[in-house]
Structure 1
Amino acid sequence: MAKIEVNGALLAYDEAGSGNPVVLVHAGIADRRMWRGLVPALAARHRVIAVDLRGYGDSELPAAPFAHHDDVVGLLDALGIASAALVGCSFGGRVAADAALAHPERVSALALFGAPVSGNEWSEETERLWEELVGEVNPEDLAATAAGEVRFWVVGPTRRPEDVDPELIRFAEEMDRQALAAEKALSAVEAGELDPPAIDRLTELRMPVLVGTGADDVADLRRLADRIAAEAPQGVRLPDVPDAAHLLPLERPEPVNAALLDFLP
């Protein structure tokens, strides 16, 4: 692990390999460790940087206003990188898409996995699923909240917990407990949003865009992936990966590695 100052905050990151740079941006229920199955394969051809967003993992959270998508580009500045491919999962995909829209000249390619881009609204179907699968949880109970979020996102609405590797569930809950603590701290800091948001600007994503989801992720995100791939001028939609839900790159790294090595410049 290394740390570097980005827009007044020390961000933690792991770096491996050489070649065209690729920045990996983690999900909101995770941290940079979720990329553990991708870094070795990608680093065989690329300079791979897995970052903890501000407040998450080992990164700091100063009280000053900030924007996650500006931090991603600030990381490129701090590392002397003119442009990079961005790979994001879930909230990290939202951040990566926002960075690509706010700073298009800095993003050579964009890969999004289960990404609810900014401005996206959840359907009533998804809200009902949450009530059925998770229900009311005390937000002060981080362990119970993490267990509920992992049940919904990592197991997914079409699988049972016993269908999923117990080590994946354990690791996801560990990451999510830390992420929930980070989100509580982040709620006290002013965070900038992309304006206008990405949902109505997908045609502006003019770099190559790869979009994928797990077959067991929520239907909203599979439909949104279809839309992103259709509206981005160079969008490519991967087939849904079987037996995988929201943290696709963590749960099924092999097909994700293969897709990215074929896609990345």
Structure 2
Amino acid sequence: MTKIEVNGAVLAYDEVGAGSPVVLLHAGIADRRMWREQVDALATRHRVIVPDLRGYGESELPPAPFTHHDDVVGLLDALDLPRAALVGCSFGGRVAVDTALAHPERVSALALIGAAISGHEWSEETEQLWDDLVGEVDPEDFVASAAGEVRFWVVGPSRQPADVDPELIRFAEEMDQRALAAELALSAVEIGELDPPAIERLGELGMPVLVGAGADDLADIRRLADRIAAETPQAVRLPDVPDAAHLAPLEQPHPINAALLNFLP
């Protein structure tokens, strides 16, 4: 692990390999450790950079306004990288897309797995699903909240916890407890948003885009992947990854790694 100052904050990141640069951006329920199955595989061909987003994991959170997408470009600047491919899962996908729209000259390609998109609104179906699967949880109880979020996102609506590797559930809950603490701290800081949001601007993405999702992820996420693929000029839609929900890179690394190695420039 290395630390580097980016836009007034010290960010933690890992770096492995040599070749064309690739930045892996983690989900909001996780931190950079969610990419542990991708790093060595991608490092056979790429310079792989895996940061904790500001406030998450081991990265700092100064009490100053910022934007995550500007931090990504600040990281590229600090590492003297003119351009890089961005790979994002969930919230990391949202950050990747926002970066590509705000700074298109800095992004050579996008790979989006179970990506969120700024400006996208969740369906009533998803809100009802949360009530059915999780219900009300004390937001200050990080253990209970993480267990609920992992049930919702990592297990997914079409499976039972017994269907999922217990080590994956344990690791996801541990990451999410830290992420929940990060989100609480982030709620006290002014975070800039892309304006207009990305959901209205997918047609502006001029770089190659790979779009995928887990077959057991939320229907909203899979529909959003379809929309990204349909509205982005150079998009390729992967078939949904079997036996995987929202953290597909962690749960099913082999098909994800193969797809990334085939796609990344």
Structure-2-length-normalised TM-score: 1.00
Aligned residue for 2:228?
228
Matches within 5 A, 1:106-255: 106-255=106-255
Aligned residue for 2:44?
44
Aligned residue for 2:22?
22
**Counterpart residue identity of residue 88, structure 1:** G
SS at match of 1:148: helix
**Counterpart residue identity of residue 110, structure 1:** L
**Unaligned stretches of 5+ in structure 2?**
none
Matches within 5 A, 1:53-132: 53-132=53-132
User: Displacement, 1:230?
Assistant: 1.1
SS at match of 2:211: strand
CA RMSD in angstroms, aligned pairs only: 0.4
Aligned residue for 1:259?
259
User: Displacement, 1:76?
Assistant: 0.2
User: Displacement, 1:174?
Assistant: 0.1
**Unaligned stretches of 5+ in structure 1?**
none
Structure-1-length-normalised TM-score: 1.00
Tell me how far apart the structure 2 counterparts of residues 250 and 203 of structure 1 sit (CA, whole Å).
Answer: 30
The percentage of aligned residue pairs carrying the same residue is 80
User: Displacement, 1:160?
Assistant: 0.2
SS at match of 1:82: coil
SS at match of 2:86: strand
User: Displacement, 1:203?
Assistant: 0.3
After superposition, what is the alpha-carbon deviation per residue over 1:42-77, rounded to whole angstroms, capped at 9, x for unaligned?
000000000000000000000010000110010000
After superposition, what is the alpha-carbon deviation per residue over 1:201-258, rounded to whole angstroms, capped at 9, x for unaligned?
0001110000000000000110110110111110000000111000011111100000
**Counterpart residue identity of residue 14, structure 1:** D
User: Displacement, 1:116?
Assistant: 1.4
User: Displacement, 1:189?
Assistant: 0.5
**Counterpart residue identity of residue 83, structure 2:** S
Structure 1 moving runs of 4+ over 4 Å: none
User: Displacement, 1:92?
Assistant: 0.4
After superposition, what is the alpha-carbon deviation per residue over 1:8-40, rounded to whole angstroms, capped at 9, x for unaligned?
000000000000000000000000000000000
Tell me how far apart the structure 1 counterparts of residues 120 and 221 of structure 2 sit (CA, whole Å).
Answer: 10
User: Displacement, 1:180?
Assistant: 0.2
**Counterpart residue identity of residue 240, structure 2:** D
Tell me how far apart the structure 1 counterparts of residues 63 and 187 of structure 2 sit (CA, whole Å).
Answer: 11
